[in-house]
Amino acid sequence: MTSHAPVPPAPLVDPFGRSVTYLRVSVTDRCDFRCVYCMAEDMTFLPRRDLLSLEELDRLCSAFVDRGARKLRLTGGEPLVRRDIMKLFRSLSRHLASGALKELTLTTNGSQLARHAAELADCGVKRVNVSLDTLDADRFRALTRRGDLRQVLDGVAAAQQAGLAVKLNAVALKGVNEDEVFSLTEFAHGQGMDLTFIEVMPLGEIDGQRLDQYWPLSQVRARLAERLTLEPIDYTTGGPARYVRVKETGGRIGFITPLTHNFCESCNRVRVTCTGVLYMCLGQEDAADLRAPLRASPTDELLHRAIGEAIARKPRGHDFVIDRETRAPAVGRHMSTTGG
């Protein structure tokens, strides 16, 4: 006898056998900062009608959860400047309650975190990544072109107060925060936070040259090792960071090295922009539009078909370079478009 029960959509597995279990969604391209490595001073943001509505974002995320996504990260732009964003966290928290989703999290610049920390925790968010490249207020303002360090530090404190585990992300910038690797480590580990260093990636046109900012993490690590004992450990958060434990502090430091070290072989993630464009790889141009199938029908068949077709094209990996011959960005879109 044949059953007429709806067939659950198939889990997403790419052509290289990698399961897609991690979705990062940019909920806005807007931001209250203009970090020098991320945006130009005078960014033109997208017309609001091009953005997915909160309902569309919910449908899209839920479709991925139905297909096996276990971890969902909201990012941007600055996710916490999107109006009513807590409604989205609230509605997505049902997937945590049902057990379908293991983790709901976000990457934030921290400026609005003090206001939202308690509600995020109430929605089931357990961890949050806060970007913080410097602990010097003047330098912070220059680097973000407008940010207030105090506000971010208050946000971090509020998140910890609310019981959220905070990880700090610092982009390693030559000539900018080179002298802060120890103070950032001390600050993070002193408050029980992990710290991850990120290499500058060639994403989107910015004012100035990335070659001037590029500081390979091999050198960051060597600098840290001058004073600290770095013990390699197996710890992973499912992301691309490789971790060490600092013997002196007991805390962890992660290194994300897209340029000097290829981590594509274990890639389990895809990204969706705030306009519903699915990128199967951060470093490749190939993409699939999910907004059209979302808007074409109130049910999700077209959406599921588009997602399935896109994952079948997920490439083996990327090929970033920053060198003197390759001055143009590897991909034209900004990190704030694809979502960090």
Enumerate binding residues for ligand SF4 (CB under 6 A).
31, 33-35, 38-39, 76-78, 109, 131, 336
Centre a 10 Å sphere on the Cβ of residue 259 and count the other Cβ atoms it contains: 19
Question: Which partner, ligand SF4, ligand SAM, none, binds residue 168 by CB below 5 to 8 Å per kind?
Answer: none
User: Which of 107, 268 has the CB closer to ligand SF4?
Assistant: 107
**CA distances, 266 to each of 16, 20, 184, 236 (Å):** 10, 10, 29, 12
Smallest separation, CB 38 to ligand SAM (Å): 4
Token pair for 233: 């450990």
Question: Which partner, ligand SF4, ligand SAM, none, binds residue 108 by CB below 5 to 8 Å per kind?
Answer: ligand SAM
Which residue in 146, 114, 145 sits closest to 130, CA to CA?
114
User: Which of 108, 268 has the CB closer to ligand SAM?
Assistant: 108
Question: Which partner, ligand SAM, ligand SF4, none, binds residue 104 by CB below 5 to 8 Å per kind?
Answer: none
Sequence-separated (6 or more) residues with CB below 8 Å from residue 323? 211
Q: Return d(Cα 184, Cα 190) in angstroms, integer.
A: 10
**Coil, helix or strand at residue 104:** strand
User: Which of 251, 283 has the CB closer to ligand SF4?
Assistant: 283
Buried b (16+ CB within 10 A) or exposed e, 294-307: beeeeebeebbebb
Q: Return d(Cα 27, Cα 243) in angstroms, integer.
A: 28
Smallest separation, CB 290 to ligand SF4 (Å): 22
Question: Which partner, ligand SF4, ligand SAM, none, binds residue 34 by CB below 5 to 8 Å per kind?
Answer: ligand SF4
Smallest separation, CB 143 to ligand SAM (Å): 10
Question: Which partner, ligand SF4, ligand SAM, none, binds residue 198 by CB below 5 to 8 Å per kind?
Answer: ligand SAM
DSSP 23-41: EEEE--S--S---TTT--T
- Site for ligand SAM, rule CB under 6 A: 31, 37-38, 75-76, 78, 107-109, 131, 169, 171, 198, 200-201, 203, 335-336, 340
Smallest separation, CB 337 to ligand SF4 (Å): 9
Question: Which partner, ligand SAM, ligand SF4, none, binds residue 201 by CB below 5 to 8 Å per kind?
Answer: ligand SAM
> Would residue 274 be called left, alpha or beta, if left means φ above 0 and alpha means ψ between -120 and 50 degrees?
alpha
Q: Return d(Cα 185, Cα 314) in angstroms, integer.
A: 36
Token pair for 114: 């003090």
Q: Return d(Cα 61, Cα 96) in angstroms, integer.
A: 12
User: Which of 80, 117 has the CB closer to ligand SF4?
Assistant: 80
Smallest separation, CB 302 to ligand SAM (Å): 29
User: Which of 40, 230 has the CB closer to ligand SF4?
Assistant: 40
Smallest separation, CB 209 to ligand SAM (Å): 12
